[in-house]
Every structure is written in C-alpha cells, then in structure tokens.
A and B are shown apart, each in its own frame.
Chain A
C-alpha cells in the first residue's frame, strides 16, 4: 500500500481539492483507495458527505485506543473509493509542538488499512507542518505540496523545504514527490511568472509537470460535495487529474501495484 500526504504550510492552496480529485483518479484506475481527512476542520468529509460532521473519524481513532478503522470507513458510489472523515475535530485539542505524540496511533491506523488491502491511502492535512500533520508525514511514503501560483506563494518555498527536511529526518523513507502548482491562471501574467519562477528555482524533479488551472468548477464541485470529475462539465478536469496520477505513478517508488 502506498500512503500519500497532501500538505502545505499555507492554508487555502488547494490541498483538499487535490486530495479529493487525486483519490478519485486513483479509485477510477481500479485501485482500492482511501481518502482520509486529517484536518480538524474536516473539509473532505464536508465535501463528500453532508452529514459528515456527525461521522466518527480520524480524530476519534486517535483518541480511542480500542477503535477500529473499519468502524470509520464511509463507502462512496464508486466501489473502489472510500473515505474516513475527520470526526470530532473541532473538539480535538492538538498540540502545538512539532510532533503531536500521535505517531504510534497513526502507524496503527496505517497498518489496519494495509490489512484491509487498500492500494492507496491519501491523507488530506491541515495547513502547517506540525502537530498531527507532522505525525502523518512521519508515517507516509510520499508527500505532495500544492502551491498556489502567485508571488506570495513562492516566498514560502524555503520554509516549506526546511520543514520537509526536518520531516525526512523523522521519516527517512518519506519521498518528496514534489510541488504541484494550483489555481494557475494562464491569462494572468503574475500567475504565469510565479509558476515560471518556481520552476526556475526548484530542480525539475521537484515540480510536477501537471498544473491545476484555476477553474470555478472546483468551487461549484466542493459546494455540491463532489469530486469535480463527476460534474457534467468535468471531463476536462478529469483528464488533468488522470495526467497527474500517471505522472505521480512514474515517480512513486516502489510503484503502486496495478
């Protein structure tokens, strides 16, 4: 099983949008895929199931040592696609330290879903590389960092690289799959310049070729609680995430079994 974390220092850069749609792409490729919301704000659950606020989820698992992941899994209409909501996130007090102290329990989470024969597990995380997110990175095989294509976004790159370097000291097998540019607005010169600046700054292998364009469809999709690909006009976005999935599969080592 491959576990991927989607993370960023900054909020609102498109982590949840990426997580949902990438998980959907993996599930469509036939992989048994689990999307796990580890953001105490619980936006994946919010997106995909309206009643998710009442669902038990990841944070309940962290707090309750006798809970099984099986109790938390929410199926979707696509049989290969399931999710785990964040759960009672708002009540959850998580440490502000660099490590929240949950890493062992999260390891237990991963070994349970491995036993359930999932092929891919995608963790959507809260912004910032500390606390529970740091622990999630401590158990993941790969990490992807969405980066908004705007000048302010580029400025945060060194911090992000430093944080990832620290994470790799905790988890040496964490593969940095790369930065992915999101909300790219081709007709806006600032957006294009920022994208180019980032590509100039980082080694090629660290920036995904695939870019996610800015498209209001994403906003509409998340309002309706859907991966954007299932929307009537969503065929084009489906193709983008399929391209991203293929690109990722070339990078992920060891490869995801098909």
Chain B
C-alpha cells in the first residue's frame, strides 16, 4: 500500500489541505468585538475583573507587575487598554469572513444603554437586562438575526420573524435543560437551512432560563459565545443596580 492510499482511507486530502492553507493565511479571522463599549464609559468591567478599567496608552509597553492589584484599585493592568485598541477594530467572531459593512458602521454608534434606560427606570431588572443585551447583540455581533425569550416564554426580541421556529427552538433548549443533555455550556445548534443555523443559548438569571437564538451562517467561536454570555451577565448586573 503506498502512502497516499494509507492517507485517503482516513481523511479527505482536499479538505485537509484547504484547512491547512487557511491556517497559513496571514489575515485570518478575527475576534468578537469586546462588548465593553456598549455599556458606556463608566463601565467598570466584567465579573472577576472589576478592578480593571482603562489606563493611559503609554503604559502598555512597560507595565510593571503589580503585586497587589486588589489593594490599590487605581492601578489597572494594561490588557484592558489592549482590549480597547482591539475593540476599535470591530472584528468578526466567525471563523472567517468579514462582517457586513453596514453592521460595522452601526457598531461604532452603539449606545443601547441609554436607549433602554430612557424608558426603563421603573422596570424590574430582567426585562431591562434583556433589552440591553439584545441591543448589544444586534449591534456588536454579526449575527443574521436573533430572538430572545424570557423565562416565561415571552418573546422579547424577534427579528427572526417566525414564531413557530422560535417556539421549537425554545422547547429544544428547555428539553435539553430538563434532560441534562446538550453541551455543558448549555448550547444547542440547529441547522435550519443550507449555511444557516440557529445557535440556542440558555442564559441564566435568578428569574430562570432565558433563551437566546442566534441565526448565523457559521458556528460562532467559543470565545464569541463566552463573550455573549458575559455580556448578558453584565447587562443583568447593571440593570439591577439600584437607582440607575
């Protein structure tokens, strides 16, 4: 048996080659935009990194190791600055390809917190959080469409335009919760057409599981999904801040 036969029994050489060539390309794929900007300038950071914020640019190159970050809340690691720079690039969380131009432009104007809070000061925390979150979703991630259901099954956001699809997606998600199945991350993927899938995320809050469905052309990266979850958490924690 020659070596080519050995190989082709196990794998598709064309596919392997195109994967490999993608890896060698200089301008790969990019990252999901950091979601921090959407929460406004006063936003302090996410869970577990609340001692982080911005700091002057010049300190990026010579950040001294600060042995007591917690003891001195004013000293801030430089990585958030780096994140800040990345953020202005607005890349795409997919494995390849570019976000639509219009979306990129829209992202720069994002200020959904204000939009939501202008009419929401009296609302309980979860609906506000979902509003903030879905605004962020639409503006900051190059998804094709999204829906969000609250724990009671009310559709709070719908640009998918198919109630039936949303109901099915929600029941699938709930079934996977009750059966303890699905990925440990609480993520389900359902193919709905060629090059179209819905990624269904369960978002936990004390009110119960909300469900977000994201229509995408290609699966989101795990980093992108993690960012989306963090964004939801942040929206939740901010919208429950009393007196805001």
Residues on A close to B: CB < 8 A? 65-70, 96-99, 101, 104, 107-108, 111-112, 115, 134, 138, 151, 154-155, 157-158, 161-162, 164-166, 168-172, 174, 176, 193-194, 196-197, 200-203, 205-206
A168 and B24 contacting across the interface, CB-CB below 8 Å: no
Contact A154 B221 (CB under 8 A): no
Known: A197-B7, A201-B13. A99 touches B226 (CB 8 A): yes
The 19 listed contacts between A and B (C-beta, < 8 Å) are A69-B65, A97-B185, A111-B65, A134-B222, A154-B10, A157-B11, A158-B12, A158-B16, A161-B16, A169-B223, A169-B224, A170-B223, A172-B31, A174-B28, A193-B2, A194-B6, A201-B17, A203-B17, A203-B24
Q: Which residues of A contact B17 (CB under 8 A)?
A: 201-203
Task: Name the distance in Å between A157's Cβ and chain B's nearest Cβ.
Answer: 6
Chain A residue with Cβ nearest B218: A169
Measured in the bound complex, the distance between the Cα atoms of B11 and A151 in whole Å is 12
Contacts of B244 in A (CB 8 A): none
Residues of B at under 8 Å CB distance from A?
2-4, 6-7, 10-13, 15-17, 19-24, 27-31, 49, 62-65, 67-70, 77-79, 91, 93-95, 184-185, 221-224, 226
With beta carbons under 8 angstroms apart, the residue of B16, B30, B65, B67 that contacts A202 is B16
Minimum distance in angstroms from B201 CB to a CB of chain A? 14
Q: Tell me which residues across on chain A come within 8 A of B62, comparing CB atoms.
A: 115
Instruction: List A contacts of B93 (CB < 8 A).
Output: 169
C-alpha gap A107/B4 in the complex (Å) = 42
Give the CA-CA distance A66 to B69 in the complex, in Å. Answer: 7
Given contacts A111-B78, A169-B95, A169-B221, contact A176 B23 (CB under 8 A): yes
